[in-house]
Amino acid sequence: MSEKNGKGKNGISRRDILKGIATLPVLAYFGFRFHSQYESDILPFIEKGQTELPNFGYIKIPSVGYRASGDKIRLGIVGNGMRGAEVFRALGYATEGWLESNLQNGDINQNVKNFFGQENLNVEITGVCDTFSVRMEEAANIASSEVRSGGAKPQKRPILYSNYREMLSDNNLDAIVILTPDHWHAKMAIDAAKEGKHIYLEKPMCQTADEAKLLKGVIGQSGVVLQVGHQNRQQASYIMAKNVVESGLLGDISMIETYTFRNSSHGAWNRIIPEPASRDNINWREFLGDKRWHEFDLDRYFNWQKWFEYGTGPAGNQFTHEYDCVNQILNLGIPKRVSAVGGNFFYKDSRDIPDVLNCTFVYPDRGLTLTYNCTLKSSVQRDITFLGSEGAMQVNVALSVFADRESDKYKGKVPDFERPMYVYNPKKGQVDASTSATMKYYQERGFGYTYHNGHRIDATYLHMKEWLHCIRNKQQPSCNVDRGFEETITFYMANLAYLENRIVEWDEENQEII
Amino acid sequence: MKQENCQIFSMVMLRVLIGWHLLYEGLVKIIDPTWSASYYLTNVEGPLKSIFSGIPSIPFAIEAVNIINQWSLVFIGLSLILGLFSKVSSVSGALLLFMYYISNPPFVGVKELPYTEGNYLIVNKNLIEMAALLVLYFFPTGRIIGFDRFIKKNRK
């Protein structure tokens, strides 16, 4: 620096230097604060947290990789109610009307993209059947629609059968998809198995324990492939949840909580009755089947879930979803004891099912209880929660694990017990360790869709795909008759406990409810 | 303090504060081994949804987006704090923030990401920070308080 004018050779004065580096102390202070923050908040999550947590990597849903090669499988569809259109789409059949209803500002939405992203399952719907002739025609229209996924070609119009027995006696189908009210499930599945037809059966598998025993025996003898329609078997988060439990992250699980939370008339099974429905186009006697005679009643026909005679109450209709999720994670099987209390407090129509129900399923051998709390008068979301000695896990379409503040395993390793220490977000297709206060964890309920490698896929499509793969390869599907048997016995015990106001027990040795 | 000095002081303060914010955002994203723009991009809403939402499915593209995002934030942050190349970093920062803004704009009818803080209608903090960086671009202070002062002197 020159002495002249206080400037150096390059014209930089002392003043220039001071002004030039004036903000440097800010950077130094930033460095100091960042270091402190890193030591106290970020590092414990990243280093200590992560080394404690196993890396499960990507979750692979086996059915995604199955190929529908081989012979075409001919299907008969029985029942085209509320679930009908969804199952048709899962099989690769949609309508122009559905496409139009999924347009947003002229663009197709994600549902349509997902549909067209489905592979051709190599099936043909050769027959349809419904006791409501309007819905039967609709089913035939969908089955011969030009809107097909996976590049499949439109098919000829299927045969319309006035009842499922005629369909089964015809020799033009290999398998049957049963989407009827619950009271028909066992009867149809047994008849189909006896005819050698493979079966996709909507949940619950059966209405009663006796039916479940009968069906289990028939399926065992027939060798046909039966898949119960719990499509959550394809949910990535449940596969992940099984890994979490088996890795011991939660410690000893003492309780699992499951819920139904609905607060709408539709959710309480008061559904809109279609305009053209009348005794002229509904085969009422066929609907009733072996149930006692009742005068023609559109409410009973369309909202059959409200009566134990045709449906199975909240335990059979809703809890079975939750139960099968827990059962696939823990292989719980049938509980030893079940209690259930509740009542019909809000929907004062002629229904006989409860709208508030609290059930407890006791598994002494496993040292845990499973609870089910249902209300049809609150829609506050509560996820399936596994309560363990070291941590708790909440599962829906995503998964969060929280450390227990009294846990020895996580003592001094988890800075904030209120935040999940582990989040699995299948949308992202990877595992996160929760790292900072700005980290937002993803919690969203998503029945219907599962995620594989970041892609959204219809879970029912995958469940169907698995079933068809098992038919072609003579394998057992994930929700076979044994899982269905456990599901039916478990919810039926709850229904008995509620209706008979007693604690119901399972005699494992004699395979009987006592 | 003269008004001119107050103006310089407040502009430099604005520059340093934004720099601090972006530098920290960038560093946290670099340190967190699990961080990825994938979730953000998968959930993009608004006019550029079709462009952004496809990125996570291309491994190379998402990796590039992650690295560019992380290091851009760090360099822009450092540059703003030090007042070094501050005009370039102001305009690059504004561009980066505009990308954040347009990928999830608080427009009527655009679904917000769950668990985002605050309530916004068209204008959100990304947009305001972007505007502040444009102001810093047109009223550069690096040549007055900052390392740009030395560059200016050297060029003379």
Q: What is the pLDDT at residue A432? A: 35
Res B115: pLDDT: 43
* Residues written for chain B: 156
CA nearest to A17 within chain B: B150
Are the beta carbons of A430 and B116 separated by less than 8 Å? no
Q: Does A24 touch chain B (CB under 8 A)?
A: yes
pLDDT digit string, tens, across residues B30-86: 887 667 787 677 667 777 777 787 787 777 888 898 899 999 999 999 999 999 999
CB contact under 8 A, B24 and A443: no
Checking if the pLDDT of B114 tops 50, the result is no
**Residue ranges in A118-184 assigned as alpha helix (H):** 133-143, 164-169
Q: Which residue of B has its CA nearest to A21?
A: B146
- What chain A residue is nearest to B36 in terms of C-alpha separation? A428
DSSP conformation class of B33: T
Torsion angles phi and psi, residue A350, rounded to 5: -85, 10
pLDDT values of chain A reduced to their tens digit, one per residue, 514 residues? 444 456 666 778 888 899 999 999 999 999 998 888 777 666 655 554 444 566 666 678 899 999 888 889 999 999 999 899 999 999 999 999 999 888 777 777 778 888 998 999 999 999 999 999 999 999 999 999 999 999 999 999 999 999 999 999 988 999 999 999 999 999 999 999 999 999 999 999 999 999 999 999 999 999 999 999 999 999 988 998 999 999 999 999 999 999 999 999 999 999 999 989 999 999 999 999 999 999 999 999 999 999 999 999 999 999 999 999 999 999 999 999 999 999 999 999 999 999 999 999 999 999 999 999 999 999 998 999 999 999 999 998 888 889 999 998 888 777 678 878 877 776 653 333 333 222 232 223 335 788 877 678 899 999 999 999 999 999 999 999 999 999 999 999 999 999 999 999 999 999 999 9
pLDDT at position B58: 78
Rounded to a whole number of angstroms, the CA Rg of chain A reads 28
- Tokens representing residue A400 in the block: 């969060």
Q: What is the predicted pLDDT for the residue at A198? A: 98
Chain A closest CA to B57's CA: distance in Å?
8
Among candidate residues A123, A124, A96, the one with its CA nearest the CA of residue A112: A96
Contact (CB<8Å) A436/B149: no
Q: Please tell me which residue, B116 or A157, carries the higher pLDDT value.
A: A157
How many C-beta atoms lie closer than 10 Å to residue A54's C-beta?
15
* Mean pLDDT (chain B, rounded): 85
Q: What is the C-alpha separation between A154 and A96, in angstroms, rounded?
A: 13
Whole-number pLDDT of residue A1:
42
- Taking phi over 0 as left and psi of -120 to 50 as alpha, with beta for the rest, B109 belongs to left
CB atoms within 10 A of CB A412: 8
pLDDT of A252 = 97
What pLDDT score does A97 carry? 92
Cis before A204? omega within 30: yes
Q: What is the DSSP string of B135-154?
A: HHHHS--TTTSSTHHHHHHH
Cα of A441 to nearest chain B Cα, Å: 8
**B32 part of contact set with chain A, CB < 8 Å:** yes
From the centroid of its chain, how far is CA A124?
Answer: 26
Asked if A436 is an interface residue toward chain B (Cβ–Cβ < 8 A), one would say: yes
Residue among A190, A189, A191 nearest A169 (CA): A191
Helical segments of A296-357, H only:
298-302, 313-314, 320-330
Q: Does the distance separating the beta carbons of A26 and B20 come in below 8 Å?
A: yes
Q: How far is CA A340 from CA A212, A245, A333, A343, A498, in A?
A: 21, 27, 18, 10, 5
Contact B37, B43 (CB under 8 A): no
- Residues of chain A in contact with residue B12, where contact means CB-CB under 8 angstroms, are 22-23
Q: Taking the CA atoms of chain B, what radius of gyration do you get in angstroms? A: 17
Look at residue A413 in the predicted model and tell me its pLDDT. 74
Query: A23, A438, A457: best mutation site toward chain B, by most B Cβ within 10 Å?
Result: A23
Q: What is the pLDDT of residue A404?
A: 93
**Any chain B CB within 8 A of the CB of A40?**
no
> Which residues of chain B have a CB within 8 Å of the CB of A12?
150, 153
Residue among B38, B56, B146 minimizing CB distance to A23: B146
* Chain B residues within 8 A of A455 when measuring between CB atoms: 57
Interface A:B, Cβ pairs < 8 A: 88
Strand intervals (E) in A130-197: 147-148, 159-161, 175-178
Across the interface, which of B38, B39, B153 has its CB nearest the CB of A10? B153
Tokens of A266: 């539709």
Q: Is B24 on the interface with A (CB under 8 A)?
A: yes
Q: Looking at residue A41, what is its pLDDT?
A: 62
DSSP per-residue letters across A243-299: HHHHTTTT-SEEEEEEEEE--STTTTT-PPPPTT-STTTB-HHHHHTTSPP----HH
- Residue A444: the pLDDT is 39
By Cβ distance, the residue of B32, B42, B82 closest to A46 is: B32
C-alpha to C-alpha distance for A310 and A299, rounded to whole angstroms = 12
Question: How high is the pLDDT of residue A439?
Answer: 28
Place of tokens 């679930």: A83
Check CB contact of B27 with chain A, cutoff 8 Å.
Answer: yes
Q: For residue A394, what are the CA distances in angstroms to A189, A326, A371, B38?
A: 35, 11, 14, 23
Report d(CA B71, CA A325) in Å as an integer. Answer: 42
Which helix (H) or strand (E) segment is A403 a member of?
Answer: strand A399-403
| A48 touches B: beta carbon within 8 Å | no
- What's the 3-state SS for A499-512? HHCCCEEEECCCCE
Domains and CATH numbers, chain A: 62-233 (3.40.50.720), 236-279+313-456+475-513 (3.30.360.10)
Please say whether the dihedral angle defined by the alpha carbons of residues B83, B84, B85 and B90, taken in this order, is positive or negative. negative
- CA-based nearest residue to A268, from A182, A135, A378: A378
**Whether the predicted interface score ipTM is above 0.90:** no
Which tokens go with A156? 């000829």
Decide if A428 touches B, using CB distance below 8 A. yes
Residues of B in contact with A23 (CB under 8 A): 12, 16, 81-83, 145-146
* Chain mean position to CA A337: 26
Q: Which amino acid is at A327?
A: N
Could you say which of A20, A427, A436 has the minimum Cβ distance to residue B39? A427
pLDDT at B140 over 50: yes
Question: Chain B within 8 Å of A27 (Cβ-Cβ)?
Answer: yes
pLDDT of residue A418: 80
- Check CB contact of B87 with chain A, cutoff 8 Å: no
Q: CB contact, 8 Å: A433 with chain B?
A: yes
